[in-house]
Amino acid sequence: MTRGLLSRGDVLAVTLAAACVGGLYARFWQPAVAADTVEVRVAGTSIGRYPLQINRSLTVEGSRGPLLLTIEDGRVRFSKSPCRNQICVHSGWLSHSGDAAACLPSRVSITLSGHGSEALDAVSF
Amino acid sequence: MNTIMLTADRDDRIIAGFAALAIVIHVLEAGFPSPIPGVKPGLANVVTLIVLLRHGLRSALWVALLRVIVGSLLVGSFMTPGFWLSASGAAGSLTVLAAASIWNRALPGWGLSAVGLSVLSALAHMSLQFFTAYTVFVPHSGLLRLLPPLMTAALAFGVATGIAASAVLQRLSEADAAAQTPHSEG
């Protein structure tokens, strides 16, 4: 019995198996889902949800003065903030479900959400 | 006086011997650190495959069943979540091996040998194990992101254990051939 290592059936099985595993990557490792709403919180309490489809500017009264949020083409960003470090402004445009940005001195944060599962921050066991 | 005599026949001895071998591999492997939970080479499956291909499905089922139960008793994981994961994985892989045996009988031209059987049973093992983990223990959609890399590991280890089983089977059939001609010259 000196057949080769792989029979025809083996080649078929391994090929199908590899195709299935590839399909799993396509199914479960898709890029992040586009968000459709942004929730704005001040000092931890929500002050409203806004759809990302409608372009507009929002002025949010933070604890250090007004902040400017810009919603444009399904994206949102902090455009102006009274804080010193401008970390929220440097966070730039956000568009994926699960994305978030905050101005801690002003105690203002935004969280994006959309349909489907939210992107993971971390997985631990 | 009624005496029940239990005599071990040839099949029983084969099952016991191979089960013992599989249990030793199972216990050794349990002591091996794993980089990712759920990822193990599954070397004990080499024994199941060898028994399946040399002694048939019934013996292979017995060896796998004994290995899962006795192995978990020895490791101390009997009835823990890990045991149920491992048991459901074994159930999945044995179901696939049983289906593959029927396939091999029905379509000999497209028969599966050790590598094909090993890959299919490894993927079935991982799938069932993952299904149990997802439905029973951690029903969080984030877990699904782990499925592709886990299945990739199953595929790779399936090929590796299949090659190992194939090599052992080759040696065993050479040994069989040598045993049948014991008085060969030289």
**A21-68: per-residue pLDDT in tens?**
999 998 888 777 788 899 999 988 999 999 999 999 999 999 889 999
- How confident is residue A1, by pLDDT bands cut at 50, 70 and 90? very low
Q: Residue range A93-113: average pLDDT?
A: 88
Domains and CATH numbers, chain B: 14-171 (1.10.1760)
ipTM confidence: 0.81
Q: What does the pLDDT read at residue A117?
A: 52
Q: Give the whole-angstrom CA distance, residue A120 versus residue A98.
A: 8
**Residue A63 forms contact with B (CB below 8 Å):** no
Q: What does the pLDDT read at residue B32?
A: 82
Q: What does the pLDDT read at residue A4?
A: 72
B116:A5 CB<8 A: no
Q: Give the whole-angstrom CA distance, residue B46 versus residue B161.
A: 6
Neighbours of A122 (CB within 10 A): 5
B151:A10 CB<8 A: no
Q: Give the whole-angstrom CA distance, residue B33 versus residue B75.
A: 14
- Name the residue of chain B whose CA is nearest to A11's CA: B116
Smallest CA–CA distance, residue A73 to chain B, in Å, is 28
Q: What does the pLDDT read at residue A19?
A: 95
Q: What does the pLDDT read at residue B163?
A: 94
Neighbours of B149 (CB within 10 A): 17
Does residue A5 or residue B64 have the better pLDDT?
B64
Contact (Cβ atoms closer than 8 angstroms) between residue A18 and residue B155: yes
Residue numbers in chain B where pLDDT is lower than 50: 186
Q: Give the whole-angstrom CA distance, residue A59 versus residue A80.
A: 9
Collect all residues of chain B within an 8 Å Cβ-Cβ radius of residue A6: 113, 115-116
Smallest CA–CA distance, residue B1 to chain A, in Å, is 52
Does A118 have pLDDT greater than 60? no
Quickly list DSSP for chain B: ---------HHHHHHHHHHHHHHHHHHHHHTS--SSTT----THHHHHHHHHHHH-HHHHHHHHHHHHHHHHHHHT-TTSHHHHHHHHHHHHHHHHHHHHHHHHHH-GGG---HHHHHHHHHHHHHHHHHHHIIIII---GGGGGGHHHHHHHHHHHHHHHHHHHHHHHHHHHHHHHHHHSTT---
pLDDT in tens, B111-125: 999 999 999 999 999
- Name the residue of chain A whose CA is nearest to B163's CA: A5
Does residue A4 or residue B127 have the better pLDDT?
B127
Q: Residue range A86-94: average pLDDT?
A: 91
- What average pLDDT does chain A have? 86
Q: Give the whole-angstrom CA distance, residue A94 versus residue A75.
A: 5
**Residue A122 forms contact with B (CB below 8 Å):** no
Collect all residues of chain B within an 8 Å Cβ-Cβ radius of residue A14: 115-116, 119, 159
A21:B151 CB<8 A: yes
Q: What does the pLDDT read at residue A2?
A: 41
Does residue A86 or residue A3 have the better pLDDT?
A86
Q: Which member of B113, B145, B148 has the closest CB to residue A7? A: B113
Query: What residues of chain A, 14 to 53, have a C-beta less than 8 Å from chain B?
Result: 14, 17-18, 20-21, 24-25, 28-29
pLDDT in tens, B24-56: 999 998 888 777 766 888 888 999 999 999 999
- Name the residue of chain B whose CA is nearest to A18's CA: B155
Does A116 have pLDDT greater than 80? no
Tell which of B101, B112, B152, B169 to mutate to test the A interface (max A CBs under 10 Å).
Answer: B112
Does A70 have pLDDT greater than 90? yes
